[in-house]
């Protein structure tokens, strides 16, 4: 039956592929999110297993709230790294290296993450109260397009940094993905990421680039919850708790803008306006509740993942069921430290090669979002808004964002947060804002689902 499927038009019901192929597709999505998702706990001192648990539960919660319509995976948010570094900075080991988790302050940072998720709920309520058309006037394509472009460009340096660890493996992974996607047939064409990982991993084995030592020492089963890091037990009204709230809650401004951009990117990729159906209010609520849940359980904040949007664009399998399979796999595997150790043996160069193409796809989706919505860049107003967004996102990101004090507490806004705020303000202030979100025909999200980047 699957031989008669026209993959070029996109597959919206993966059940026609069969259970076995759906499972493989779910594994591919899990691989796509895994590298970035586990990197956040490694940088903050949080548990990798808890992070996987929260990613799985958060994704399933998101799908429940959005009526199972949006093919989005929720993984660890990098935007909160600055907040963690302020509230719970890593401590120095005997050699002076910052490798020791700050177990005393981590619960307060997680509590701040949990409360930041409530900001999403407030915005969701505003949309429900005032209507999507009125709120979406603040998010026209001239704003969301450059934001999507900036998301990919900001991620680009991390892809290059990972590639530098082993350029051979990076090129093998990247080349395999390109060959499978352009010249592949059938399942080969819709599994480029997984095949890219497996082929490059085989090369890594041959060249001796894989370290198996950590696998032998890892247990087969372990509970992925650790009371000493859970934000649930840090909501105590102490000065540490209050300071954490002031530091971390403002970060939600950045992640909400990322969310809008990601949902627009998914809409552009799949060819369905998810901002209209099931509605931005529901997607924000799902993302916010997932972030709150993660913070309470001791995990990093969740966010809709651009990596998985890239997989959608490559594979053209748009059924949200495949994403839910990936979420269940992440949830199950969070109970196996042994599997975590196996995944951690994937060389950094391979992750870089895969990220090389996926991060570029995000920016390319933003470009298409602008083109298909016919944003007029001969209009100085639109040109200024896009220019300020891009320079603010990349410029401030290069200097670590903008830090300022509120009540004696330092708050850091990332480059993307600054770009989003400035872009929204410019769009609201400058004359000539004639954008109207048409919920009837889905304006604001391109209708074409066949993105090739």
Q: Are 37 and 55 in contact (CB under 8 A)?
A: yes
Asked whether the beta carbons of 214 and 84 are under 8 A apart, the reply is no
pLDDT at 442: 39
Give the tokens for residue 199: 């082929």
The parent domain of residue 265 ranges over 15-429
pLDDT of residue 383: 93
pLDDT for residue 95: 63
Q: 10 with 316: CB under 8 angstroms?
A: yes
In a domain, 280, yes or no: yes
Query: What distance in Å separates the CA atoms of residue 229 and residue 236, rounded to the nearest whole number?
Result: 14
State the Cα–Cα distance between residues 251 and 265, nearest whole angstrom: 21
CB neighbour list of residue 431: distance below 8 Å, 6 or more residues apart? 381
pLDDT digits (tens, 9 = 90+) for 77-114: 877 876 787 778 777 776 665 557 788 889 999 999 99
Residue in the structure block whose two tokens are 């004639």: 434
The secondary structure of the chain in percent helix, strand, coil, rounded to multiples of 5, reads: 70, 5, 25
Give me the residues of the chain with pLDDT under 50, please: 1-2, 439-453
- Distance in angstroms (rounded) separating the CA atoms of residues 24 and 266: 21
The answer to whether position 89 is within a domain reads: yes
In a domain, 204, yes or no: yes
pLDDT of residue 67: 93
User: Contact, 391 vs 362, CB < 8 A?
Assistant: no
Query: Given this model, what pLDDT does residue 446 score?
Result: 38
| Distance set, CA 180 to CA 190, 210, 376, 451 (Å) | 8, 24, 36, 16
How buried is 178 (Cβ within 10 angstroms: 0-12 exposed, 13-18 middle, 19+ buried)? middle
- The answer as to whether 261 is a domain residue is yes
Q: Are 325 and 25 in contact (CB under 8 A)?
A: yes
Is 437 a member of any domain? no
- Specify the pLDDT at position 450: 28
Greatest alpha-carbon pair distance for the chain in Å reads: 65
Whether 2 is covered by a domain: the verdict is: no
Overall number of domains in the chain: 1
Q: Would you say residue 322 lies in a domain?
A: yes
Whether the pTM exceeds 0.85: the reply is no
Tell whether 393 is covered by a domain.
Answer: yes
């Amino acid at each position: 039956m699957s031989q008669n499927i026209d993959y070029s038009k996109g597959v919206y019901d993966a059940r026609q592929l069969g259970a076995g192929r759906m499972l493989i597709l779910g594994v591919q999505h899990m691989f796509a999110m895994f590298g970035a998702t586990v990197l956040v706990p490694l940088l903050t001192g949080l548990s990798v297993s808890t992070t996987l648990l929260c990613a799985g539960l958060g994704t399933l919660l998101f799908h429940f709230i959005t009526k199972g319509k949006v093919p989005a995976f929720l993984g660890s948010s990098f935007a909160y790294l600055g907040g963690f570094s302020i509230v719970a900075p890593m401590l120095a080991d005997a050699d002076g290296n910052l490798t020791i988790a700050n177990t005393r302050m981590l619960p307060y940072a997680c509590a701040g993450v949990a409360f930041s998720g409530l900001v999403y709920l407030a915005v969701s309520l505003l949309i429900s109260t005032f209507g999507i058309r009125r709120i979406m006037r603040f998010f026209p394509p001239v704003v969301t397009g450059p934001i999507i472009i900036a998301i990919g460009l900001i991620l680009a340096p991390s892809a290059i940094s990972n590639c530098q660890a082993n350029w051979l493996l990076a090129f093998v992974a990247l080349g395999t993905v390109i060959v499978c996607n352009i010249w592949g047939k059938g399942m080969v064409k819709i599994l480029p990421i997984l095949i890219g990982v497996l082929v490059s991993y085989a090369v890594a084995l041959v060249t001796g680039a894989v370290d198996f030592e950590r696998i032998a020492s890892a247990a087969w089963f372990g509970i992925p919850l650790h009371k000493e890091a859970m934000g649930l037990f840090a909501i105590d009204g102490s000065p540490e708790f209050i300071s954490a709230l002031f530091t971390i809650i403002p970060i939600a401004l950045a992640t909400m803008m990322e969310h809008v951009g990601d949902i627009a990117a998914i809409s552009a990729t799949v060819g369905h306006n998810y901002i209209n159906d099931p509605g931005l209010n529901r997607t924000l609520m799902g993302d916010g509740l997932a972030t709150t849940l993660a913070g309470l359980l001791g995990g990093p904040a969740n966010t809709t993942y651009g990596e998985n949007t890239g997989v959608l664009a490559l594979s053209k399998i748009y059924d949200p069921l495949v994403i839910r399979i990936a979420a269940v796999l992440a949830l199950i595997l969070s109970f196996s430290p042994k599997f975590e150790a196996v995944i951690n043996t994937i060389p950094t160069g391979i992750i870089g090669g895969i990220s090389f193409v996926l991060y570029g796809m995000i920016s390319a989706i933003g470009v298409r979002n602008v083109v298909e919505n016919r944003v007029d860049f001969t209009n100085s107003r639109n040109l200024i808004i896009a220019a300020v967004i891009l320079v603010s996102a990349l410029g401030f990101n290069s200097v670590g964002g903008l830090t300022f004090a509120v009540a004696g507490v330092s708050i850091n806004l990332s480059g993307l947060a600054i770009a989003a705020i400035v872009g929204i303000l410019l769009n609201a202030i400058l004359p000539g804002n004639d954008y109207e979100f048409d919920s009837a025909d889905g304006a604001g999200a391109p209708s074409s689902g066949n993105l090739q980047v």
